[in-house]
Amino acid sequence: MATGLLLRASRRLLAAAGAGAGAGRGAHGLPPRHNKKRWLRAYLEQQRLQAPPQRRSEKPNWDYHAEIQAFSHRLHENFSLELLKTAFVNSCYIKAEEARRQGLGVDKEAVALNLQDNTKLSEQGESFSRSYLTQCFEGAYPNLPAKGIGALVDFLTSQELVSYVAQNLSVQDLTLCAEFPVPPRVLQRTFFAVIGALLHSSGPEKTEIFVRDFLIPQLIGKDLFEIWELINPMGLLVEELTKRNISSPEPRITRQSGVSTVLPVYFVGLYCDKKIIAEGPGETLLAAEEEAARVALRKLYGYTENRRPWDYSKPKQGWAVEKAISSN
Amino acid sequence: MTGRGTPSRFLAAVLHNGVGRYVRQLQRLQLVFSPAAPDARGARQFVEEAALDFARRHPDVVLYISPRSCPAPLLLAEYLNGTVREELIASKTSEEIAQLATKLANQSGLDIIRIRKPFHTANPSVQGQWHPFTNKPTVLTVRGPRLPPQ
C-alpha cells in the first residue's frame, strides 16, 4: 500500500521532473528531441529551385476569366472579352490539346476543340502596327529615308523587343501554348493578336494610342545607327547632300592628340563650302571620318540626341475644329 | 552594411512605365491565412470588411483569398516583371493589412535595394557632353602676327 503510493508518487515526481526538465530545457533554449533533420530545409529548397519552370495556370490560385478582366483593366482598355480570349489561343495549343484528347481515347466529336486560332488577329495586328509606326516616323522625321524608317519599324516589331514587352505585360501567363517557357516567336504573335483584338473592339484610334504607348518608348536611349546598320555612311552622306544641292564634304582634321602614342584621338570635321557641318572623333583617321559622316547624317535626319522628345499627349480630335472656330 | 557589401541598382522603370501610359505593376495578390489561428485574426477581419473594397478600387489586381492551414498568414504579391514578394501579416490589424496591400499595389516589382541615384535620364546633355576639346581652338585656326590697332 505504501509502496504503491510511493510508486505513484515517484511516477508523478518523474513526470513532474520530466516536465520541469523539459520546461527547464526550453527555458535554457535547448532544442526538443524529435526535430526535423538539419539538412531537410536546404534540401527542399534545392529541389524547389531545380524543379522545371511551371506555367502560372498550373500553380495554385488561378482564375483565367478574372485574369483576363484584370489584363484589360490594367492596360486601361475596353477589350471585348471573347476576342481577347481568342487572341491568346495559339495553334500549337489547339494541336497539342487535340492530340492529348485523342491519346486519352475521347471520341471524335469531343476531340475537336471549339476554339479559334489567333493567326488572323495576329496578322491584322502586325500589319496595323507596322503601317501606323511607319506613318508616325514619316511624320516625325520627314528627312529620314525609307530605308531608315523601315529599319526603325523592323526594330520595333522585331521578335526580341515585342516578346520582351509582352513578357513584362504578363502576356506569358495568359497565353495558351504547347511549350513552356513560351518561345519569343509565339509571344510576338500573341502580342500582335492582342493588338488585333483591340483593333476590332475599340477601333483604330485607340489602337494607335496603344501601339504608341507601348512600342515607341522602347526607342528611348537608343541611337539611330545602333538600330540601322550602315555600311558606308560617307557614301550615303554624299548622296543626301547632292539631293539637297550642297557640295560634297571635305574632311579636315580639326583636333588631334596623342598621335604618336598607343591611344591617339583625332577629330575630323566635314566642311561643305568651307562651312562645318559635323565633327566626329575616332581612334584612327578613317574611323574619325566615318564617325563625322554619321554625326552629319544624324543632324540631317533630325535624329540627334538633343531632339524634341516624342509627344505622348492625348490627341484631341476636336482640336482642328476648335482652332477653325476660334480663328473666326 | 556598406554600399559595396549590399546590392544596389539604378533608378529604373519596368518598360519605361509612365512615359506612355501608367500600368499598375502589381498583377495579383494572394491572401493565405488560417481560418482558426489567433495571429490570422486581422487577416480574417480584412477579408470580411475591407477586401472587397480593395478589389473594387483596384480592378487591375486579381485578389485571391485562400483560407487554408498554413504556418503563418501571408500576403503574396506577384508583379509583372515576375517578382514575387511575401509579406507576413501575422498579428496585424485589418487597417494595417489594407495599408500594406495599397503599398504593394503602388510598388513596381523591382528589388528593394539601395538606389544609387534618385534620378535617371537617357539624354543627360542637351548642348553636348563636355570633353577636353570643347571650347578650345581647332588645329585649323590661323593665328597670325598681332595686327596694329586701327
pTM reported for the whole predicted model: 0.86
DSSP string across A38-49: TTHHHHHHHHHH
Mean pLDDT of chain A: 88
Interface of A with B (CB under 8 A): 60-61, 63, 66-67, 69-70, 73-76, 165, 168-170, 173, 212-214, 216-218, 220-221, 252-257, 267, 269, 305-306, 309, 312
Which tens digit of pLDDT belongs to each residue from A87-99? 999 999 999 998 8
Residue A149 has pLDDT above 50, yes or no: yes
Q: Which residues of B touch A271 (CB under 8 A)?
A: none
Q: Which residues of B touch A221 (CB under 8 A)?
A: 122-123
DSSP string across A144-195: S-HHHHHHHHHHHTSHHHHHHHHHTTTHHHH-B-SSSSPPHHHHHHHHHHHH
ipTM score here? 0.90
Which tens digit of pLDDT belongs to each residue from A235-271? 999 999 999 999 999 999 999 999 999 999 999 999 9
Q: Which residues of A touch B10 (CB under 8 A)?
A: none
Contacts of A55 (CB under 8 A, 6+ apart): A173, A180
Minimum Cα–Cα distance from A64: chain B residue: B62
Which tens digit of pLDDT belongs to each residue from A11-65? 665 555 555 555 555 555 676 677 889 999 999 999 999 999 999 999 999 999 9
Q: Which residues of B touch A60 (CB under 8 A)?
A: 66
Question: pLDDT grade, residue A106 (50/70/90)?
Answer: confident
Q: How far is residue A197's CA from residue A207's CA, in Å, rounded to a whole number?
A: 9
